[in-house]
Amino acid sequence: MLKPAVTMIGGGMIAHDQILPSLYQLQRMDLIGPVTVCARSPETLRSLADNAMIHQRAFPGHSFTPALDPYADVIAAMPPRQIVIAAVPDQIHYDVVMTALRHDQHVIAVKPLVLTIAHALEIERFAKSRNLFVGIEYHKRFDDRTLLARRRFREGMFGEFKLGTARLMEKWYYRRSNFQNWFTPENSDAFTYIGCHYVDFVAFVTGLRPTAVSVYGIMDRFPNGKEGYLWTDARVIWNNGACLNVQNTLSFPDEAPGSNTQGIMMYFSDGERGAWLEHSDQYRGIRYCYTRRMDSDGGTVFHEPSTEYFQYIDTGVPGLTCTGYGFRSIDYLIRAAIRVESAPAMDRAVVLQEIDDVGVLATPANSNFNEMVIEAGRLSIQNGGRLVVIEPGSPPSVRLD
Ligand SMILES: NC(=O)c1ccc[n+]([C@@H]2O[C@H](COP(=O)([O-])OP(=O)(O)OC[C@H]3O[C@@H](n4cnc5c(N)ncnc54)[C@H](O)[C@@H]3O)[C@@H](O)[C@H]2O)c1
């Protein structure tokens, strides 16, 4: 079987918390070849390489090739039809993805794929023309609770979605991270960064599509003096008239006992009865109080860990094993890219179409409603929260109401 080389562009938080350890686990399973990580600063690569949890405790013997050259050069030096992972700040995704596609690479992008509909459509067209796979890492789709809600919804157990309210608040200490260098008003905001997960969730579970968005943002200051929309309240209207409210911040107290707080309530009706769904997505069922503060960013003495997203556990193999939907998502994406590449050249378009149609994985073709919401949301937040309408059409567009 093909064992693609994987080059990850970006070595920051998401690379550290989820992607690199997941790639090592796939190496252990003999699914992928060597891993390269490209970043701008030697400190980023050193800090990732020196991470004791990843490289000593979980995956002893595994390592990546560090690359400090510009990503375009690193990608150009790869043999064709391997895998590039874009794990850079949101506003650079488009260029990394297009650079990879131009060099005949399959691509996995962290969410959001890009910030505009035009870019999403261009990526879709270009990738199709070369039979290359592009997958977007919306890892909540691989949470069993999401897949269960989707199945029950499709079986008609809830009726029609009417109203919903979701929240995802990351910890305050994010403000002290590299975020302060890029999470500025022209690039991103709390809704674009993390609200998209719950927009994707509602679309994934219900099959509905967004038609209008308004995002009210409150500006706040990072420690380096830069400002960003660190508090957002979004309202997304769907094509059956339903309404989802999403609140996002970088404000969850550092001393609070988990890495974030997040969840969704959805209210439904079949015309005769109401129905309801509630997910507590940080999963607070475990409570630990340690003898000392955990040695990690945001580490606390009292801790409510979640086994849902990503944890390391000891299953008796040398090192530790990654569990959770964070790993399952990377696993699924990498297997999809391998499936496309393993098919005879004449069948690849069919395999790609099948992946689009099955719709478990987010691809540019089946999930560009996310870019519509992001483009609309960015326009709205920059206009004080005015409603922005998504105009269907070819291509779709957004406009202030
Ligand atoms: N829940 C999620 O799905 C989730 C969570 C976290 C981050 N993300 C996404 O991951 C992306 C990165 O976020 P992060 O938290 O890792 O941010 P980060 O700031 O911690 O890391 C960004 C990395 O990109 C690198 N980078 C920036 N410009 C580069 C360039 N020109 N060439 C090479 N490397 C470059 C930086 O060196 C850094 O290593 C964002 O798009 C974010 O939205 C998704």
> In the predicted model, what is the mean pLDDT of residues 112-130?
97
* Residue 398 placed within a domain: no
Q: Tell me, yes or no, whether 116 and 195 share the same domain.
A: no
Q: Ligand 1 centroid vs 112 CA: distance in angstroms?
A: 11
72 falls within a domain: yes
Identify whether residues 269 and 226 lie together within a single domain: yes
Kindly report, residue by residue over 97-110, the tens digit of the pLDDT.
Answer: 999 999 999 999 99
- With respect to residue 336, please indicate whether it lies within any of the assigned structural domains: yes
User: Do 237 and 338 reside in the same domain of the chain?
Assistant: no
Answer yes or no: is 391 within a domain: no
What's the CATH number where 154 sits? 3.30.360.10
Q: Are residues 208 and 269 in the same domain?
A: yes
Residue nearest to atom 1 of ligand 1 (CA): 194
The answer to the question of residue 239 being in a domain is yes
Percent of the chain surpassing pLDDT 90: 94
Question: In this model, does residue 247 exceed pLDDT 90?
Answer: yes
Pocket test for ligand 1, best of 8, 9, 13 (most atoms within 8 A of CB): 13
Regarding whether 95 and 186 lie in a shared domain, the answer is no
CA–CA separation, 333 and 314 (whole Å)? 24
CA distance 53 to 60: 9
Q: 155 and 255 in one domain?
A: yes
- 299 with 166, same domain: the answer is yes
Q: Is residue 387 part of a domain?
A: no
Q: Are 268 and 159 in contact (CB under 8 A)?
A: yes
Residue 162 CA, distance from chain mean position? 26
pLDDT at 297 over 90: no
CATH number, residue 87: 3.40.50.720
Residues 52 and 113 in one domain: yes
Find the 50 Cα to ligand 1 centroid distance in Å. Answer: 19
Residue nearest to ligand 1 atom 34, measured at CA: 39
pLDDT tens-digit readout, 321-334: 999 999 999 999 99
Where in the sequence is the domain holding 190, given as residue range(s)?
A: 144-308+373-381
Contact between 58 and 88 (Cβ < 8 Å): no
Question: 24 and 131, same structural domain?
Answer: yes
Residue identifier of the C-alpha nearest atom 19 of ligand 1? 178
Pocket test for ligand 1, best of 38, 41, 88, 282 (most atoms within 8 A of CB): 88
* Short-list 124, 141, 178, CA closest to 15: 178
pLDDT tens digits for range 5-61: 999 999 999 999 999 999 999 999 999 999 999 999 999 999 999 999 999 999 999
Q: Which residues line ligand 1 (CB under 6 A)?
A: 9-15, 38-41, 44, 71, 87-90, 92, 110-111, 139, 177-179, 193
pLDDT of 198 over the 70 cut = yes
State which ligand 1 atom lies nearest to the alpha carbon of 188: 43
Q: Give the chain's mean pLDDT.
A: 96
Crossing angle of helices 196-206/144-154, nearest 10°? Answer: 40
Going by C-alpha positions, the residue among 217, 108, 203, 216 that lies closest to residue 153 is 203
Q: Is 396 inside a domain boundary? A: no
| Confidence bin at 1 (pLDDT 50/70/90) | low
* 176 and 295 co-located in one domain: yes
Are residues 124 and 150 located together in one domain of the fold?
A: no
pLDDT, mean of residues 298-311: 91
Query: Does any domain span residue 270?
Result: yes
Average pLDDT (270-280) is: 97
Tally of structural domains, the chain: 2
Of the chain, the percentage scoring pLDDT greater than 70 comes to: 100
283 has pLDDT over 90: no
Nearest protein Cα to ligand 1, atom 18 = 12
C-alpha 292 – ligand 1 centre gap (Å): 30
Model pLDDT for residues 131-162, shown as the tens digit of each residue: 999 999 999 999 999 999 999 999 999 999 99
218 and 334 co-located in one domain: no
Instruction: Quote the pLDDT of residue 151.
Output: 98
Say if CB 371 and CB 117 are below 8 A apart.
yes
pLDDT at 294: 86
- Output the pLDDT for position 31: 98
What pTM value is reported for the model? Answer: 0.95
pLDDT over 70 at 237, yes or no: yes
For 271-333, what is the HEC assignment? CCCEEEEEEECCCCCCCEECCCCCCCCCCCCEECCCCCCCEEECCCCCCCEEECHHHHHHHHH
> Across residues 197-206, what is the average pLDDT?
98
* Residue from 336, 338, 330 nearest 21 by CA: 330
Whole-number Cα distances in Å, 142 to 24, 37, 306, 390:
19, 25, 15, 28
Distance 129 CA to ligand 1 centre (A): 28
Instruction: Single out the residue of 336, 335, 394, 399 nearest to residue 368, CA to CA.
Output: 394
> Which residue has the least CA distance to atom 15 on ligand 1?
13
For residue 315, which amino acid is it? Answer: T
pLDDT, one tens digit per residue, over 175-197 is 999 889 999 999 999 999 999 99
> Tens of pLDDT along 63-114?
999 999 999 999 999 999 999 999 999 999 999 999 999 999 999 999 999 9
pLDDT of 371 strictly over 70: yes
